[in-house]
Each structure stands twice: as structure tokens, then as C-alpha cells.
Amino acid sequence: MLQSMVRDFAKNEIEPKAAEIDQTDKFPHDLMKRFTEMDLFGLPYPKEYGGSGMGYLAMVLAVEQLAQASSVVAGWLGTQCNCMETIFRYGTEEQKQKYLVPLAQGEKLGCLAFTEPATGTDPRAIQTTAKLVGDEYVLNGQKRFITRASVSQIVTIFAKTEDNRVTDFIVETNTPGYSTGPAWDKMGSRGSDTCDIFLDDVRIPKENLLGSQGEGYRILLQAMTAGKLGWSAQGVGMAQAALDEAIKYAKERIVHGRPEAELLSIQWLIAEIATKVEAARWLTYRAAWLKDQGEDITKAVALAKLFSASSSVEAISQAIQVHGSYGYTKDFKVERLYRDAKLNDLIEGSLEIQRVIIANSLLQ
């Protein structure tokens, strides 16, 4: 029922606006209201914290359907989940009621800020600092490539405390000293603002420390398992959309008096795309199901992310091949899908990082 509801929403309300979102690079706030009305933000989380209690597999099913219309819109669930996951797993009861509930209900938007100009996922290179002064922590530093930073009200920010240990903090974006830079002009994922965050003597109560001091990197890794599920599902959705577009085009395109779909070379491409879609889908579903069972999915979600990201780019490239030169133009959806899919290779840990995680899990 959820899958069907989100599919209809994506087809009827997102798909007609997807190209415009990409072309204008404008954040579509009207669609965000519909997310709240449909209770999509809190899918994985218990009802007592504002969620629906449907679990991570439900989130994956929703993201997959949304991504077939627009990966930008689908990414809202993953970004929100990154922020919520840190609070759900490590927050106090007071923090959960104050921050998780409005995030899960869509009353407030959130994001997670770890990346800096000098580092991607290496905690040793973190330069943002948090100094305890009386009953407050004072944060200073800069975060880079933070999705939805300019429109979020709650951000979980990772900084080094005076003992040089990475720690996580909850920051409300209306706090004095918090600001964002201009949105980066990206190749794809346009319409999803990606900004730098600047912290200039940002003072937060010490009660906003998340988890224990020095526990930040472990919190990050836990949060990223949920984020990677979202990105894996996005890859599946985009590859499925590419498959649908390739089949449609192959049936309609007439070559030498007959449909292109009758050509053996085109059939081979479509078969290759379909195989990648199915393999990525079941790796992703399995990782989400394991997380719903309370299992450690570090390796499972790395497998899903690695395969979904790489195979979606390959699948969409093959769909462009089916379209021929037309696929290289903005008149056809596969061109946008290709630009958007490339981000999956880089975000929430690059493909190289996923390979390291998988290998370390097997070799330990």
C-alpha cells in the first residue's frame, strides 16, 4: 500500500516538475509539504517519536519510487534520516522529544554535517572545534558540501573537543554565529541545495552534546548505514527509470522500417540493464530488512551501496546507448538520470570507501 501510494505521488506530482527542478535549480518547497501530509519523513521510527514505525524497508520502498521521478526529491528522505538516526540511536529522551519528534513529523528539516574542506570521512582531519565554556559549548569551523544546509532548522554537527576527540552536537540553525554560503553549482542533483556551513562562536547548551564526548565517529558510522540505504534505493529507482525509458524508446523508435526493439543489440542492452536493476534492488532490500531485524548492516549496506551506485551509472549509460544521440540531449529523461546518478559514486562514502569496508569486514 505504501509503495503504491508513493508511486502514484511520484508519477502524478513529482514527475511533471522534475525537469523544471533540474533546469531552475530551485528547491521545491511545495512538494516538501506533501511529504509531511503523507507522513513520509518518519517511516523508520517508532510512533512515540513521531514516526510511523514501518521500518527501514518501508523507507527504501518509498525512496525507490520517488527516485524514479526525481532523485533530488527522493534524497530528502535520506538527508532527514541521517539527522534523525543520530538522535534516535544516541539521543537522550529529552533530545528525542525536542528534536526527533518534529523531524519525524516533518515540522522541521534536518541534516548532518561532517565533511570539511580538508576531509571527507577521515575523523583525524576534522578541524571544527567545540570548546566547553561554562554551561555551553562554543563551536568554530567550516563544513563543506552539506545537503539542505540552508533550509534546515536542526543540524547534527561533528567537531573536535579539547581532548582532540570527535564529538557530535545538535545545533539549531537560528543560533547566532551559524550561517551558510551560496549553493554549489553542481553537475546533477540540481534543486537540492548543497552549501558550506560556517560556525563563528556558535554557542549551544552542553545538553546538546549527542551521545558521549569522543563518540562522534561511531555515531557517524551508525547514521551513515541509514543514509546509505537511502542512496542505494535511489540508485535502484534511477536505474529502473532508465530501464523503463529504454524500453519505451526502443518500442517507439523506427529503424529501417521496424521498431528498434527488434534489434538484437538493443535487446542485449535492455537485458543488461534489467539484470543490474534486479541485483541492486535485492541487495538493497536485504540490507534494509537486516536493519529492521536489529542486525549490524555495516557490510551489507556497503555491498548494496557499492553495487547500486556503480551499476546505476552503468545501467543509465546503457539506456543512453539505446537512445543513441538523442539520449545525450536534455529532451530525454536519461540525460538527467545520468547526471544525477553520478553523485551516488561519491556521497555517503565513495565507492573506494565501500570497498575498504567490505574487505575489512571479510578479512578481520
Task: List active site positions.
Answer: 348
C-alpha cell at 340: 544525477
Buried b or exposed e, range 278-296, using 16+ CB within 10 angstroms: eebbebbbbbbbbbbeeee
CA dist., res. 181 & res. 31, Å (int): 24
Chain CA centroid to CA 288, Å: 14
Which of 153, 337, 85 shows the shortest CA–CA distance to 234? 337
State the DSSP code for 119.
B
Element (H or E) spanning 112, and its range? strand 110-113
Chain length of the chain: 364
Bridge partners (DSSP) listed for residue 158: 168
CA dist., res. 152 & res. 249, Å (int): 39
Buried b or exposed e, range 137-163, using 16+ CB within 10 angstroms: bbbbbbbbbbbbbbbbebbbbbbbbee
CA dist., res. 67 & res. 193, Å (int): 17
CA dist., res. 149 & res. 73, Å (int): 15
Distant-in-sequence, close-in-space partners of 25: CB < 8 Å, separation ≥ 6: 183, 185, 190, 191
Pairing of strands 110-113, 209-210: unpaired
